[in-house]
Amino acid sequence: MSKKIIFISIVVIVSITIGIFLFVQPKNNTLTDFQELENLTPNPQPFPHPENTPKASESTRVCEASNAVSFKSCVSKVNNNQADNIEVTSLIACTGKNACMADLNNIKRPVSLYGRNSDDGFKRLDTYDYALITVMDSKDVKIYNLTFDENENQPCTPVSNPANCKDTIFVSNSENIVIDNVTISHSKSAAIGAYNSRKVVITNSNFINSYLFGVILNISMDHDIGSLAIASARVEGNLFRNIKSNGLVLYQTQAKQNDPIIVRGNTFINNHRENIYLLCGPDAQSGTGPCPGGQLYLTNDVANVKIENNIIKDGNSKIGTGGIEFSNFNIRNVDVVGNEIYNNNMWGVYINPNANNVSDIFISKNKIYNNGLLPQYGGLNIFIPNNTSVIESGNCFTLSCMP
């Protein structure tokens, strides 16, 4: 598994600098579209929309967008301080180079991008070499009540280098970013990538059938943001379903102990379903075979995280999908409490056997059952190597148990 994260490191660095992912060409998918979401919403009741988010009736600085041309005009007005809010009033079709590209750069005032109705948003028909929404060097930006349909039947284009496919929403070097009540399906990379940013809140949203990740939170050293960039991040009340690789990735993602990263009340179903990383092999030595992994993945310099009251189920890839995976090195002060984790064919909660310096992991009061279904995982619900500092107590391991 250690080779897998080296690959992710390269991907993240390159995605921030020149935006190129080094992955294989995605296959056509066979999943249904938005109709299935009605019965798959996470258990928590929806949160209200972020406070103080302007509506069209509350501000005269609203720009309405009903097609690609008017949308790009609205983006220009926001960047030039001629508008503060963009209201999308239809499902905008995006075809051709940069057709719906929205780069919100150097925004230092409250700005919102939202749909008049929840099915308003964007349907990209082709050309995936740009992020639909980019937020860079900005603060106090809110994106909510929108649908992003990246087209189930269209592969990533241009196809000369499949790695050209970009995240649907890309956040970099920014602060106080709220993404609420969005549905992103069939992303050709990650649905949301938040890099070198802090105070990122992602709530009440659906991430369906992304080619790479549902959400990745990552930091890197920066003279403006600093080394604790994702401090106070919250991922709450979301649905992650049928993502080809990990549903949620925390990579080099740290916070202060008194202001931890929160992963709460989310539902993960059948993520890491195709083992797309071809970096493993027998005993993870050959570097040419597919890699097993977790639906929720923590790796490399992750600190002060609370993983609470999530449902993680039905991981079922050919060589193994687990619930929560701790991998590589320097993972510390993580509480895993009150989750229900079941029907994964790899371990329910596990420390990667090759991980180093994993310490102060607290696994308590979880309901973890019917995991480790493939023979090589021995029916184990929790796997903890001897060289890690983990406290495991008060969990239960049957369908009918109460922790």
CA separation for the pair 83, 132 (Å, rounded) = 19
Mean per-residue pLDDT, 46-71: 68
Report the distance separating Cα 135 and Cα 176, nearest Å. Answer: 11
Q: Answer yes or no: is 219 within a domain.
A: yes
What is this structure's pTM?
0.84
| pLDDT, the chain, mean | 84
Distance CA 230, CA 260 (A): 10
**How far apart are alpha carbons 279 and 276 in whole angstroms?**
9
Asked whether residue 403 is domain-assigned, the answer is no
pLDDT category, 28, cuts 50, 70, 90?
A: very low
Q: How many domains does the chain have?
A: 1
Cβ partners under 8 Å of residue 274, min gap 6: 244, 245, 317
Confidence tier at 222 by pLDDT (50, 70, 90) = very low
pLDDT band, very low/low/confident/very high, at 208 (cuts 50, 70, 90): very high
Residue 376, classified by CB atoms within 10 Å of its CB into exposed (0-12), middle (13-18) or buried (19+), is exposed
pLDDT given at position 387: 75
> 263 versus 288: which is more confidently predicted?
263
Tell whether 25 is covered by a domain. yes
Percentage of the chain surpassing pLDDT 70? 78
Q: Is residue 133 part of a domain?
A: yes
Which pLDDT does position 281 carry in this prediction? 58
Spatial distance between the Cα atoms of 151 and 31, rounded to a whole number of angstroms: 11
Residue 78 has phi, psi (to 5 degrees) of -65, -45
pLDDT tier at 354, thresholds 50, 70, 90: confident
Q: Which domain holds residue 267?
A: 2-393
Q: For residue 331, is it within any domain? A: yes
**For 315-346, what is each residue's pLDDT tens digit?**
999 999 999 999 988 999 999 999 999 999 99
In a domain, 400, yes or no: no
Pairing of strands 293-299, 248-251: parallel
Give 290's pLDDT tier (boundaries 50, 70, 90).
confident
Is 244 within a domain? yes
Mean pLDDT of 211-218: 93
The verdict on residue 302 lying in a domain is: yes
CA-CA distance, 224 to 209, in Å (whole number)? Answer: 34
CATH number of the structural domain spanning residue 130: 2.160.20
